[in-house]
Amino acid sequence: DVKVTQSSRYLVKRTGEKVFLECVQDMDHENMFWYRQDPGLGLRLIYFSYDVKMKEKGDIPEGYSVSREKKERFSLILESASTNQTSMYLCASSFWGYSNQPQHFGDGTRLSIL
Amino acid sequence: ELKVEQNPLFLSMQEGKNYTIYCNYSTTSDRLYWYRQDPGKSLESLFVLLSNGAVKQEGRLMASLDTKARLSTLHITAAVHDLSATYFCAVDSTQGGSEKLVFGKGTKLTVNP
């Protein structure tokens, strides 16, 4: 079974802090994704990566950056956390070029910015 | 810009009844995915639909794709309480394998005894 592991289930940080969310997958997937999920808005793509050191902006990249130094690990960085970044963050991974395979999701990190 | 619209957003139904959730999307795509999310849990893949006319079934759920109408349906047959969850459709309009998905807002299904 594919395992996508997010480092924290719950996280509380303060406004202005630099926040790191970590995601690791064990299936040698090329693609990795970061989404945020908000009530009534569904899932929105923040950033994705299709290879080590490669990244592309999603639909809502403002206020975020990412890092992919190793194939299995994809980090989401909130450079200076703000209260409007309080949300559920979901990491996902998939094979590149195999659209018959779905994205696999981690359990999510519920982040509160105070 | 691809837009994905699900309806209804909320659905309350009785056990044993049938119902359909609709997923409309705005630009050409032949790759559509359905996911289920239980409260406090992550998303679980249900179906992958990759061509016009594709139909997949698992238990009481059946999904279909009409790429010409840009419409997918998720049909629930003889609902049971265990199907209570939020269901999302997601559409991929990218070329190649990067799978940049756009999700609908989700349909929260409650099945009452």
For A18-75, write each residue's pLDDT tens digit.
Answer: 999 999 999 999 999 999 999 888 899 999 999 998 999 998 999 999 999 999 999 9
- Strand A4-6 and strand B55-58: pairing? unpaired
d(CA A22, CA A42): 21
Of the candidates A73, A42, A44, the one whose C-alpha atom is nearest the C-alpha of residue A57 is A44
Q: Tell me the residue type at B29.
A: S
Q: Average pLDDT in the B85-108 region? A: 85
Q: Which residue carries 């590149």 as its tokens?
A: A96
For B:40-99, CB contacts with A below 8 A are 41-45, 48, 50, 88, 90, 92, 96-99
| pLDDT (0 to 100) of residue B70 | 93
DSSP output for chain B: ---EEEE-SEEEEETT--EEEEEEESS--S-EEEEEE-TTS-EEEEEEE-STT-EEEETTEEEEEETTTTEEEEEE-S--GGG-EEEEEEEE--STT---EEE---EEEEEE-
Which pair of tokens denotes residue A99?
A: 């659209």
Interface test with A, best of B43, B49, B88, B92 (most A CBs within 10 A): B43
| pLDDT (0 to 100) of residue A82 | 97
**Residue B98: is its pLDDT beyond 80?**
no
| pLDDT (0 to 100) of residue B31 | 87
d(CA A32, CA A24): 9
Mean pLDDT over each residue of chain A, to the nearest integer: 93
Of the candidates A20, A8, A5, the one whose C-alpha atom is nearest the C-alpha of residue A110 is A8
**Residue B30: is its pLDDT beyond 90?**
no
How does pLDDT run across A77-109, given as a tens digit for each residue? Answer: 999 999 999 999 999 999 877 677 889 999 999
Mean pLDDT over each residue of chain B, to the nearest integer: 92
| pLDDT (0 to 100) of residue B50 | 87
- CB distance B30 to B51 below 8 Å: yes
d(CA B57, CA B46): 9
- Residues in A touching B94 (Cβ below 8 Å): none
Inform me whether the C-beta atom of residue B100 falls under 8 Å from chain A C-beta atoms.
Answer: yes
d(CA B58, CA B74): 11
Measure A46 CA to nearest chain B CA, in Å.
11
Q: Which residue carries 């693609």 as its tokens?
A: A31
**Residue B97: is its pLDDT beyond 60?**
no
How many of the other CB atoms lie within 10 Å of CB of B49?
23
Question: How large a percentage of chain B has pLDDT more than 90?
Answer: 75
